[in-house]
């Protein structure tokens, strides 16, 4: 009987960790970020906290026809 409880506890812990990882991965993919590539091969990556991101996102939405 103890083995059954142990297996149940391990399965519950695994499901909890799996749900946490899945939710964390989903929230990470919805974050706004912009990668700017330059002719010389360099790249600048801006995340949602960069002050320039608002203007870039507005311009990109206008270009692709989003609201």
Concatenating the DSSP letter of every residue in the chain gives: -HHHHHHHHHHHHHHHHHHHHHHHHHHHHTS-EEEEE-TTS-EEEEETTSTTHHHHHHHHHHHHT--
Q: What is the pLDDT of residue 43?
A: 93
Indicate the domain borders of the chain: 1-30, 33-67
Tens-digit pLDDT profile for residues 18-63: 877 777 776 655 667 888 899 999 999 888 888 888 888 888 888 8
């Amino acid at each position: 009987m103890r083995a059954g409880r142990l297996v149940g506890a391990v399965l519950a812990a695994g499901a909890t960790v799996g749900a946490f990882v899945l939710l964390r991965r989903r929230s990470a993919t919805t974050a706004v970020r912009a990668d700017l590539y330059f002719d010389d091969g360099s790249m600048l990556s801006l995340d949602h906290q960069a002050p320039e991101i608002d203007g870039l996102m507005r311009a990109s939405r206008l270009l692709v026809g989003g609201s």
